[in-house]
Amino acid sequence: MSTAYLTLAIVMIVLNAGIAAADFARVPFVLKNSAEVDVPQSWIPPLASLKAAGAAGLLLGLLGVPYIGTAAAAGLVLFYVGAVLTHVRARVFYNIAFPGGLLALAVATFVLDLAQTR
């Protein structure tokens, strides 16, 4: 396992677990951002579950279940593509760097995961 992959996977696990926790706790910035991009509050728990599942899947990948880790990395890429598209659709650009940055990290994690599982 490469150091770059290990580091990036741990960063993604921590970030996604933290964001999922904030979503489940319905902290004010989560509710504000969701309202700005027209995501109903009823969608917040299922979306948080997807982030938590991505973090858990990456952790399982690090613990020796490589295909789960790869699937989690791919799922996070798709999740953050959707988040960026949601911001673009709603024309909310002032904070698009956050989902965009997480998309970039998810893509990098996925690519490094694929490179190491060969």
Per-residue model confidence as pLDDT tens digits over 12-62? 999 999 999 999 999 999 999 999 999 999 999 999 999 999 999 999 999
Distance separating alpha carbons of residues 2 and 11, to the nearest angstrom: 14
- CA distances for 96 relative to 7, 27, 65, 92, 103, angstroms: 24, 19, 33, 7, 11
* The pair of three-digit structure tokens given for residue 36, joined into one six-digit string: 């700005």
- DSSP label at 93? -
* The pair of three-digit structure tokens given for residue 73, joined into one six-digit string: 């990395």
Residue 116 confidence class, pLDDT cut points 50, 70, 90: confident
- Residue of 37, 15, 75 lying closest to 67 (CA atoms): 75
pTM: predicted TM-score of the whole model, two decimal places: 0.93
Residue 93 confidence class, pLDDT cut points 50, 70, 90: very high
